[in-house]
Amino acid sequence: MARVVCFGELLLRLTAPGSERLLQSWSLDVCVGGAEANVAVSLAGFDHQVSLASIVTDNPLGEAALGELRRHGVNADAVQRALGRMGLYFLEPGAVRRPSKITYDRAGSAFANAAPDTLDWNTILAGADLLHLSGVTPAIGPNASDAAIRAVEAAVAAGVPVSFDGNYRALLWEVWKGDGPAILNRIMAGATYAFINERDIALILGRPFNDRASAFAAAFETWPCLQAIAATTRQQSSVEDQVLAAELVTRTGRWVSPEHQLPGVVDRIGGGDAFAAGALHGLLLGREAQYTIDFAVAAGALKHSIPGDFNRASLAEVEAAMEGGSLDVKR
């Protein structure tokens, strides 16, 4: 199995219970999350050696979040503690025709305030097979943006492949007036694997595309390090009833997954991270491209059945879902 380093902010998610509006009743369900942490937990569940590089607040909230990571097999030795607050986000779950809504509360967190050179990337990346990060991290603020660029540049210099999930967060970029397209372009220049679609590519390159194929062709032409792109396709008849499929495209071919019907979605948050982790599992092990995209979309589909940010599906469960496994009670 591979040794993977994920870099990003560890968060607390506070969710309105059931299908309530935010603070409709004065209670919130709490769990640990964050895009890169979600990928880390999934990959650890697939038996890879995974570390999270981050900065958390030096108080019981930070310690509780780190304890949850360790409980899922993620190494937290590269996480530093600092003064400041814990990054939060609030989720109002959608229902029927009302979409889910996220409210961020991350300004001034220990991660956002950390200097760009806080983490020693030469030490953290030693012996790593992959660095994974997402577009959420540079969107947090100027310090996090500079840190993300430094991490990618250090990985490229060390010969460590980089995985990048576009995850464009307009609300976060707007807070500090960051030039998202320019910064993400610099990160994509070092990416080996990308989880992006035609909208991400159009935003970063500043020009429209008529279809996904032409956008992917432009991505491969623009970013010479890029070797593979994976993207999902989602159909929604309501918040609870969706269909998920995906494709994997390299410089030499294209592979498409079967569709997964998702009636009665429990929790969509983290589904893209579960998909990314599934694709990385196949790519890191050198599995066939068709297996890789089938495994990835099955992992993403299973996450829709699990409350919270983390995908708690095992390797065996994902492979069973790839085969359209029985829905009978397992006894």
In sequence order, the 6+-apart residues with CB closer than 8 A to the CB of 257 are 245, 246, 247, 293, 294, 296, 297
**170 lies in a domain?**
yes
pLDDT value at position 46? 97
Instruction: Compute the Cα dihedral for 250, 253, 258, 259 and give only its sign.
Output: positive
**250 lies in a domain?**
yes
DSSP helix/strand/coil, 301 = helix
**230 lies in a domain?**
yes
**23 lies in a domain?**
yes
pLDDT value at position 171? 87
DSSP helix/strand/coil, 101 = strand
Find the domain containing 181 and state its range: 3-318
Residues 294 and 296: their CA atoms lie apart, in Å, by: 5
CATH of the domain at 107: 3.40.1190.20
pLDDT value at position 324? 79
**276 lies in a domain?**
yes
| Sheet of 88-92, strand order | 29-33, 11-15, 88-92, 101-105
pLDDT digits (tens, 9 = 90+) for 65-74: 999 999 999 9
pLDDT value at position 1? 83
pTM of the model: 0.96
pLDDT value at position 330? 63
Element (H, E) at 268: none
C-alpha distance from residue 169 to each of 123, 151, 154, 174, 266 (Å):
30, 20, 24, 9, 23
pLDDT value at position 76? 97
pLDDT < 50 stretches in the chain: 329
**327 lies in a domain?**
no
**13 lies in a domain?**
yes
Residues 305 and 194: their CA atoms lie apart, in Å, by: 25
pLDDT digits (tens, 9 = 90+) for 35-52: 999 999 999 999 999 999
Q: What angle do CA 174, 130, 68 make, to 5 degrees?
A: 70
pLDDT value at position 8? 98
**328 lies in a domain?**
no
Number of domains composing the chain? 1
